[in-house]
């Protein structure tokens, strides 16, 4: 589903004075089964690898390339699979007909079990994307619910009588709620004589989480996946599950679209949501080492922090919405650290299946959307992701600097993008979901057929095979950083303190844990910069790893000359 919320703050408006503030925080990972500090790699199954030659990625294709996310290439801790359930595909898998099964388009039940086993053999955990706010209107639950006001599924969805009738005898919606995708949020069903509510597409009716039978059915499904070896879940739009019991009108406010012209007081973030999600988390916690990550649907970083509990973390978008400037990232980091404090563990992600790819977005945000700037910024961003405090989430293809692809309207596969207009601005998510680029040649190693989405024009030069052979590539930078991170307790679970760098274009912070003290410096500009590390952080430092193959060395006088777009992790040289 979407995660395109309104930002809680404007990080780009930060001043240099704000950038000089310090944010101190700690987080521990004493339980060896607690992998919050590990790195998660998001796979969009339709676009990762096509095994059966039909042009669409599948589970067997992921299994073919499972060693790409193993210790010999990208040493990550978990994979997150975007939805793999049967679906008519109106929202590309986020409209589910059966939460308990595998979509035949993506493979078989055995393919899934083999993939889980292969991941576990390599020490890789498996996270499933759970879509529990709504189903497809082709779900057996919904078909039974629509057919009758009686029976076990009658109250599985948000059905309501009209609030009245207009002069032409047409039914009026129960309240003023709208759809995030534009238009009214209520759909009339003549055969039942009632409306149902949908936050998203008409074909995604909202489940009634206040019905105990709905909750019981969902928990049975969760337990089923856990029994099959799943280690955790990403929860789609989880703060939208519960609605106001009385379905009261949302207050009307100023805004640029029908959705933003409402204060979503009664259709999101209900007071008893934490009790509901707590019951889910108790099920996950029945075995040590499991976790979940919630997708916050609208709302800012403080809300994400408020919903975080232990191994159950929550996405926030403060950095994903920041332009590539030191001031913006400083403000985003400070906002996160204030909200989460020393005891809560944040996430860090700069892209995903709903957002522009970071090599495109970050470079474009500062007018540098071109090569070689894209690659340089992508490598520096890798340091930000892997050296900040929090659980890093990497979107497939970012490790080779994949970019957004221009998709002609007739090839768009993101249904809401076809509804875009003045009242509904929308980013075409087809652009960031194009096939993984494995090697030069037709199909880029993704498929032997016509790919379901067009490949990028640079697939012959920007791919895994080419970059594995290039020690200066984006992939080489990710491999260096991931390998080092595995050995560095300060990066995995250490405290983070941001420091005033003395340069408005350079960000600096320390990470400390288990006797290790690291200093991270990131240049956000394409010109050289020089820092005095003694003044910045005290003591003596040695460069360990960074965005360049050989990081800039620290001079005898304690200064360091950063090359354009360089980011470096340094270790204290005096204990």
Contact 41/352 with Cβ under 8 angstroms? no
Number of H helices, E strands in the chain: 14, 21
Given 286, 410, 557, 574, which residue is catalytic?
286
Report helix, strand or coil for 531.
strand
- Inter-residue contact 571 to 515 (CB < 8 Å): no
Q: Give the residue among 452, 573, 570, 442 at the shortest CA–CA distance from 518.
A: 570
Q: Which residue has the tokens 């979503």?
A: 264
Q: What CA–CA distance (Å, rounded) separates 142 from 139?
A: 5
Active site residue 236: yes
Query: CB count, 10 Å around CB of 245?
Result: 10
Q: Rounded to whole angstroms, how far apart are CA atoms 378 and 475?
A: 10
Contact 284, 291 (CB under 8 A): yes
Answer yes or no: 31 catalytic.
no
C-alpha 473/C-alpha 376 separation (Å) is: 9
Rounded to the nearest 10 degrees, the angle between the axes of helix 373-387 and helix 474-487 is 10
- Listed in sequence order, the DSSP H helices in 307-426 are 326-340, 358-365, 373-387
Collapsing DSSP states into helix, strand and coil, what is residue 446? coil
Cβ–Cβ < 8 Å for 157, 211 = no
Q: How far apart are CA 184 and CA 423, in angstroms?
A: 12
Joined tokens for residue 28: 């521990």
Strand partners of residue 511: 496, 518
Which of the residues 236, 269, 373, 399 is marked catalytic? 236
**Short-list 257, 451, 468, 437, CA closest to 357:** 437
What residue ranges in 251-348 does DSSP mark as E strands? 291-294, 312-314, 347-348
**What's the token pair of residue 380?**
């520096």
Question: 144 vs 89, 154, 192, 209, 353, CA distance in Å?
Answer: 21, 7, 11, 17, 32
Do the beta carbons of residue 18 and residue 325 sit within 8 Å? no
Is the Cβ–Cβ distance between 262 and 178 less than 8 Å?
yes
CB neighbour list of residue 59: distance below 8 Å, 6 or more residues apart: 45, 84, 102, 106, 107, 108, 111, 112, 115
- Phi then psi for residue 528, to 5 deg, are -65, 150
Question: What's the N-to-C CA distance of the chain in angstroms?
Answer: 47
Active site residues: 236, 286
């Amino acid at each position: 589903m979407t995660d395109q919320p309104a930002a809680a703050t404007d990080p780009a408006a930060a001043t240099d004075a704000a950038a000089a503030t310090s944010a101190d925080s700690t987080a521990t990972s004493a339980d060896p089964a607690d992998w919050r500090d590990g790195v998660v790699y998001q796979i969009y199954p339709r676009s990762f690898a096509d095994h059966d030659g039909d042009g669409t990625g599948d589970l067997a294709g992921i299994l073919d390339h499972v060693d790409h996310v193993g210790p010999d290439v990208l040493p990550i801790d978990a994979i997150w699979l975007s939805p793999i359930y049967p679906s008519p595909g109106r929202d590309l898998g986020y409209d589910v007909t059966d939460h308990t099964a595998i979509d035949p388009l993506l493979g078989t039940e055995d393919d899934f079990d083999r993939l889980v086993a292969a991941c576990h053999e390599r020490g890789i955990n498996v996270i499933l994307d759970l879509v529990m706010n709504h189903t497809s209107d082709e779900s057996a639950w919904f078909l039974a619910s629509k057919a009758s006001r009686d029976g076990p599924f009658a109250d599985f969805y948000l059905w309501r009588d009209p609030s009245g009738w207009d002069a032409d005898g047409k039914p009026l919606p129960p309240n003023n709620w709208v759809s995030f995708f534009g238009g009214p949020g209520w759909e009339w069903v003549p055969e039942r004589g009632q409306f149902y509510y949908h936050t998203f597409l008409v074909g995604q009716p909202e489940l009634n989480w206040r019905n105990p039978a709905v909750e019981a059915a969902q928990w049975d499904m969760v337990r089923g996946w856990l029994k099959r070896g799943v280690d955790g879940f990403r929860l789609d739009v989880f703060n939208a599950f519960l609605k106001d019991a009385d379905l009261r009108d949302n207050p009307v406010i100023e805004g640029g679209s029908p959705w933003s012209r409402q204060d979503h007081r009664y259709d999101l973030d209900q007071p008893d949501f934490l009790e509901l999600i707590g019951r889910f988390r108790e099920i996950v916690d029945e075995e040590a080492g499991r976790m979940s990550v919630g997708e916050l649907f609208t709302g800012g970083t403080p809300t994400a922090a408020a919903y975080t509990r232990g191994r159950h973390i929550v996405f926030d978008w403060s950095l994903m919405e920041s332009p590539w400037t030191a001031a913006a990232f400083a403000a985003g980091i400070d906002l996160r650290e204030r909200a989460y404090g020393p005891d809560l563990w944040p996430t860090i992600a700069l892209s995903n299946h709903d957002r522009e790819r970071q090599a495109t977005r970050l470079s474009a945000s500062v007018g540098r959307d071109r090569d070689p700037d894209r690659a340089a910024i992508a490598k520096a961003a890798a340091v930000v992701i892997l050296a900040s405090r929090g659980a890093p989430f990497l979107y497939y293809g970012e490790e080779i600097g994949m970019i957004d692809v221009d998709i002609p309207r007739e090839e768009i596969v993101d249904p809401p993008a076809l509804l875009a207009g003045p009242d509904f601005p929308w980013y075409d998510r087809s652009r960031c979901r194009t096939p993984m680029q494995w090697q030069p040649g037709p199909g880029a190693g993704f498929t032997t057929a016509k790919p379901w989405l067009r490949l990028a024009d640079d697939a012959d030069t920007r791919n895994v095979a080419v970059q594995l052979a290039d020690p200066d590539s984006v992939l080489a930078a990710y491999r260096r950083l991931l390998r080092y991170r595995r050995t560095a307790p300060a990066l995995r679970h250490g405290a983070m303190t941001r420091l005033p760098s003395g340069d408005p274009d350079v960000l600096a912070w320390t990470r400390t844990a288990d006797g290790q003290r690291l200093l991270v410096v990131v240049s956000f500009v394409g010109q050289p910069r020089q820092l005095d590390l003694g003044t910045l952080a005290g003591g003596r430092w040695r460069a360990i790893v960074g965005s360049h193959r050989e990081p800039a060395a620290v001079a005898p006088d304690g200064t360091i000359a950063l090359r354009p777009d360089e980011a470096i992790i340094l270790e204290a040289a005096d204990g």
